Amino acid sequence: MQFFVTNNIERVSGMNFENHPNLRIISNNSPLAEVLLEKYPDRIILNTDDEFLSTLDLMKKFSDKIDSGSKIAVFKNTIHIQRFCEQNGWINVHADAEIGKMLEDKVSQHSWLVDNDFGSVIPKTYTGFVESFEFEDLGERLGLPFILQYNSGHTGSGTKLISNSDDWSMELRKFPKRDVKISRFIEGDTYTINACAMGDKIQCGKTSLQITGIPDLTDNPFSTVGNVWGEDSYWVHDKIKNMAQEIGKAMISIGWKGLFGIDVIKESKTGKLFLIEINARQTASASFENRLANLQKASGPLDWLMRSLFDSDCDFPVGETYYNASQLSVRKKSGKFHEKYGDFDKVGEWDDELGAFEETPTFSLPPQSNKVFVIPKATASEIIRIQSRKPLIWH
């Protein structure tokens, strides 16, 4: 038996379950989980308690549902998850958790990129303890402002913009002995691409424009809150795809398999592309992109993941796909998006012109549709997620 354990079921909701008949899902309850359970009662196991459980705690709670020898996939593998699988006689199908941690942590990732000859595509960067640097020296080397990133963090939680000595002093006082990556600040548009290491090959999705720090969606200026697929990202796609393939091949050489993503920024002044980071895991856009690809009768990131981890067949071919679409995550209880969409408590399609709502578990909007698809509490950090066949916002 095959299991995918995730604390947020949205991370697999873009998958066509009929294409993966041996897969079972274990997750927490949510509005989306409830409608998927109704559609696939024999495929989904839910934690219906009020307490939101981590992936590891879900595995512990439902360990009696998983037979010895079962294959286990998770959103993000960890040493603790890997150890628990071993203790229960389950097969953890991911790359070793130590590899993932090395590629995810900011400082070790930077060292690995430099060691593998990717130094020319990353911004000028220094690593070390906060207390090992002098603000004036960094200002001379990198210019002002510059970016400080703590070794661990995601969705912008550990990223700081250092504009003056007061900003620096605050971080120095709080965390003098924390490992950091300090980089030149680059102004420009940010893009992301989903990719998958499948055996000795790298399969890539379509490049999307990354939406970050929109005040109507989040209070964190570095938090990723959405993606836009469309003409704005097509012209950089081939270059970013080539970068992802080269990085992916190097990842395969150390044992990586499955999904990853890269974030790339195009410098406004020069037009040069710089790698911001590797996300050695499934990205927030992978599930939606999978659904968009499936609607075009093509395979997408989650299909590639199943093939990579479980050696499962996929009915849809790997082919070129093009789509105009977007998704946004509302993370704050104010602003125009919360005012417009924050009261939805069911999953489905909303027609703003008609003021009509239709409950449905799966995004199926045709190209150029004026409707949006809403997912309340898509993840623990979101109030609602909005998906559309058109750009919902521009940067």
Q: What is the pLDDT of residue 395?
A: 45
Q: Which residue's entry shows tokens 């509490």?
A: 377
At a CB cut-off of 8 Å and minimum separation 6, what does 264 contact? 190, 191, 192, 193, 236, 240, 243, 273, 274, 275, 276
Q: What is the pLDDT of residue 153?
A: 62
> What are the tens digits of pLDDT across the range 293-334?
999 988 999 999 999 999 755 444 555 677 899 999 999 999
* Rounded percentage of the chain residues whose pLDDT exceeds 90: 86
Interatomic CA distance for residues 47 and 50, integer angstroms: 8
> What are the tens digits of pLDDT across the range 154-163?
545 689 999 9
> What are the tens digits of pLDDT across the range 32-59?
999 999 999 999 999 999 899 999 999 9
Interatomic CA distance for residues 39 and 45, integer angstroms: 13
Q: What is the pLDDT of residue 322?
A: 77
> What are the tens digits of pLDDT across the range 243-292?
999 999 999 999 999 999 999 999 999 999 999 999 999 999 999 999 99
Phi/psi of residue 166, nearest 5 degrees: -65, -40
* pLDDT for 345 beyond 90: yes
Whole-prediction pTM value? 0.94
